[in-house]
Amino acid sequence: MAACRTLKISSRRYLGSKYKLLPFIQRIVEEECKNIHVMVDIFSGTGVVASAFQGKMTVTNDILYSNYICNLAWLGPETYREEVIRKLVEEYNSLDGNEENYMTENFADTYFSRQDCGKIGHIREDIEAKFKAGQINERERAILITSLLYAMDKIANTCGHYDAYRKGVKFEKSLELLLPLPEKHNNENNKCFNSDANELVREIEADLVYIDPPYNSRQYCDTYHLLENVARWEKPEVEGVARKMDRTALKSDYCTSNAAKAFEDLVDNIQARYILLSYNNMAGKGNERSNAKITDQDILRILGKKGEVQVFSESYKAFSAGKSRISGNEERLFLCKCFEKKKEYIQSPMNYIGGKYKLLPQILPHFPSDMKVLVDLFCGGCNVGINADCKKVIFNDSNSRLIQLYREFKKRDKEEIFNYIEKTISHYCLSKSSEYGYDRYGCASSTGLGSYNKEKYLQLRSDFNSRQQDSPDYYLMMYVLLIYSFNNQLRFNQAGEFNLPVGKRDFNARMEKKLSRFLHRIKNRDYTYVNMDFRRFPLEDMEKGSFIYADPPYLITCATYNERSGWGEQDERELLEFLDRAHKLGLKFALSNVISSKGRKNALLLQWTKQNKDKYKVIHLDYHYANSNYHTKDRAKKADEVLVINY
C-alpha cells in the first residue's frame, strides 16, 4: 500500500482566501497591536488567518459547518492519534467505490464520477460510524472529514465552486485522500464555533477580533453547498441542475443590501482592544455581483464610533468569474484601536477568605504593564488573576477540589452550569429568594434563610459526602453546597467530608451575576488551572516576561486555611526563598502579605524585607475588608497589609 501524501491548511481552494496576504496581515498586527494573547477570527473560512497565530489562544467561527469542521481539525484543542488517521486514510484510498449510497444516487457523473461518488459516500458513512462507536474522537473525526473535503475539492468537475458542473467532460482524476498533519497540541483554550457571527460576538471577548466578511452578493453556501452537504451528512433532498440542498438558514446578510446594518451591529457588540477588518476596494468597480456591499464611508463611520481607525492597503488580483481587466485593486486592512472602557472588576463567585477583590484598585496598578504571562501562585478565588491586564494566566492552588471546580466551570457550557444549579436547588427544595423573596420562606433579610434551608442543606451535604470525586457532576454539586454554606466557603475535614454548617444566603441575584460574569471571563481568556504545591512550580521553565503574584496564607492571621497547621513558619521561609530564586532568574514578582495584625508581627517577613531593601520595595496598602474576619473597630490594631515587589 502506497504511503500517504500530506496536505496543509492552505492546500484548499477557497474564494477570498487570505493565505497570500498573511505576511501583510501579520506585519500590521506585529507593528500596530500590542500584547495579543487572544485572537478571534469571526468569519474564519478555511482558518488560514487564525493559523498564523499559532501558540496564542485562537477562536474561530464560521456559519458553514464544512469550514467549522476544518477549523476544528487544524486548530482544535483536543489531541489526536496520527497512526489512526494514517491507517484510515490508507484504507480509504484503497476502496474501489463500487457501491450505491446517497452520493451515487444524487451526484453520480455530475461533480464527480459515479465511482468517486461511491467512495465519498462510503468514507463519510464510515467516519460517522467510527465516531459514534467511540473508535475515533471528535478531532480525529474532524481531521478525516477535512481530508475528504480537501480531496473532493481537488478533483471536482467545477470552475472552483459548486454553482454548476461542466457537462460532457471526461473524469480524468480520481479521489485520493491526503494526510492532514495539524499540530497535535494546540493551545488548550482554543475554541471553534459554528455560529452566526453577530450572535457569537456578544458572548466572547478578545485582544484582537479579525473580520473578513463576504464582500459581495455571492453567497458562500451556494458556492460550497456540496462540501457543506457532505460535512453535515444529514442526507437532505437536493434539487435543480446544480443538485443543491436547502440553504435558507445559511444565507448571510453580508451578501445583501443589509450588509452595512449587519456590520454595524457586529462592531457595536465586539469586546476587544483591536478590530482588524479585511475589505477590498471593489465598490462600483466590477459587475453588480462583484461589487462590495459596504462602502468605505460606512466602514469608517461604524469603526470610528468604536475607536481610532487606520487604513493599510496591499495590491491584489481580484476574483472574477471571467477575465478581469479591473485595475488598481487593493485589499485593505482597517485597524480600529478601540477606546478604553472604564475598568469594571469582576468578583469571584467564591467567597474565599483573604480574597483581594476590595484591594484590586491598590494592587493592580503596581503590576508590570508588559507581563506576557501571569502566574497567580495561590489563586484562591481568582480575584487578582481574572482582573489583571493579562490574557494569559496560570492559576495555581494546592486545593485540588478548587482547581477541579474551575476546570469544570471552563469546560461546561454556561447554560448547562446554570441549569444544573437550578435543578439541584429545586430537587432539594432550597430557597430561591431572587425569585420568591424572603416572606415565602418565613424569613427576613436581616436574619437570613438558614432556618428554612437547614434540614434541606444537611440532606444535600450528606448526599454530596457519599459521592466519589470522579462521579458525574461532583464539582457542580459541591458548588451548590458552597452557595448555601456558612459564608459561602469551602472546607473539608480530615475524612474528606464537606463540614460547614448552613449559611444565611442562597443563590440570589447578586450571586447569579457574579457567577455569570466570572464564567464569561474564564471562557474567553487563555487561562490554565494547575494544582501543585508552590515549591514544585517550575520557575526555570517560565518564559521571559512572566510575572508571579503570590498571595499565600498569612502566617499571623487566623483563617480556615491555617487550621491543622495549614501554613507555618517553614512554609513562609520556603516561599521567601522561592521568590528570591525567581528574582535571580530575572522574573518579576509581587507578594501580598501582612506585616502586623492585632498586635502580632511577622518577624520572618520583616527580616526578609530589611535584608533585601536594595532589591525589593515594600508598598503599604490601605487595608480594609468590610464584613471579613480581619475587620476590626480598633483602628490601632488594624492589619498592615503590604505588597512587596522586586521591580
Rounded mean pLDDT, 119-140: 98
Residue 451: domain span: 399-523
Q: Whose CA is closest to 223, among 198, 244, 248? A: 244
CB 275 within 8 A of CB 300: no
Domain contains 478? yes
295 shares its domain with 223:
yes
392 shares its domain with 408:
no
549 shares its domain with 477:
no
Residue showing cell 469544570: 408
Please give the C-alpha separations between residue 249 and each of 63, 213, 258, in angstroms, as whole numbers.
9, 17, 16
Domain contains 124? yes
Q: Decide which of 472, 502, 523 is a domain's last residue.
A: 523
Cα 125 from Cα 270, distance rounded (Å) = 39
Predicted local confidence at residue 629, as pLDDT: 40
Cα 401 from Cα 397, distance rounded (Å) = 10
Cα 464 from Cα 498, distance rounded (Å) = 8
65 shares its domain with 183:
yes
CB 551 within 8 A of CB 380: yes
In the structure grid, which three cell numbers stand for residue 102, read together?
A: 446517497
Question: Which residues is 485 bridged to in the sheet?
Answer: 502
Q: What is the value of pTM for the model shown? A: 0.86
371 shares its domain with 303:
no
518 shares its domain with 537:
no
Q: Decide which of 523, 548, 566 is a domain's last residue.
A: 523
Query: Per-residue confidence at 329, pLDDT binned at 50, 70, 90?
Result: low
Query: Per-residue confidence at 647, pLDDT binned at 50, 70, 90?
Result: very high
Domain contains 45? yes
Domain contains 362? yes
Q: Decide which of 269, 304, 338 is a domain's last residue.
A: 338
With a cut of 90, say whether residue 534 has pLDDT above it.
Answer: yes
Rounded mean pLDDT, 609-631: 75
14 shares its domain with 163:
yes
Query: Per-residue confidence at 597, pLDDT binned at 50, 70, 90?
Result: confident
With a cut of 70, say whether residue 564 has pLDDT above it.
Answer: no
Question: Which residues is 334 bridged to in the sheet?
Answer: 277, 311
CB 38 within 8 A of CB 524: yes
Cα 276 from Cα 335, distance rounded (Å) = 5
328 shares its domain with 351:
no
Domain contains 15? yes
Residue showing cell 474576619: 629
With a cut of 60, say whether residue 127 has pLDDT above it.
Answer: yes
Cα 608 from Cα 186, distance rounded (Å) = 41
Task: Count other Cβ atoms within 10 Å, centred on residue 98.
Answer: 11
In the structure grid, which three cell numbers stand for residue 559, read together?
A: 483563617
The mean pLDDT of the chain is 91
Output the domain CATH number for residue 146. 3.40.50.150
**DSSP for 1-60, written as a single string:** -PPPPEE-GGGS--TT--GGGHHHHHHHHHHH--S--EEEETT-TTSHHHHTTTTSEEEE
Query: Per-residue confidence at 558, pLDDT binned at 50, 70, 90?
Result: low
Domain contains 639? yes
168 shares its domain with 298:
yes
296 shares its domain with 383:
no
Query: Per-residue confidence at 216, pLDDT binned at 50, 70, 90?
Result: confident
211 shares its domain with 266:
yes
Residue showing cell 467510527: 130
Query: Per-residue confidence at 4, pLDDT binned at 50, 70, 90?
Result: confident
Domain contains 641? yes
Domain contains 1? no
Number of structural domains the chain divides into:
3
Of 99 and 634, the one with more pLDDT: 99
26 shares its domain with 103:
yes
CA atoms within 13 A on the CB side of 555: 21
CB 590 within 8 A of CB 548: yes
With a cut of 70, say whether residue 381 has pLDDT above it.
Answer: yes
Output the domain CATH number for residue 450. 1.10.1020.10
Question: Which residues is 373 bridged to in the sheet?
Answer: 546
For 276-319, what is each residue's pLDDT tens digit? 999 986 654 544 555 678 999 999 999 999 999 999 998 755 44
**Helices 509-523 and 400-411: angle between axes, nearest 10 degrees:** 80
For 12-33, what is each residue's pLDDT tens digit? 889 889 999 999 999 999 999 9
For 331-343, what is each residue's pLDDT tens digit? 899 999 999 888 8
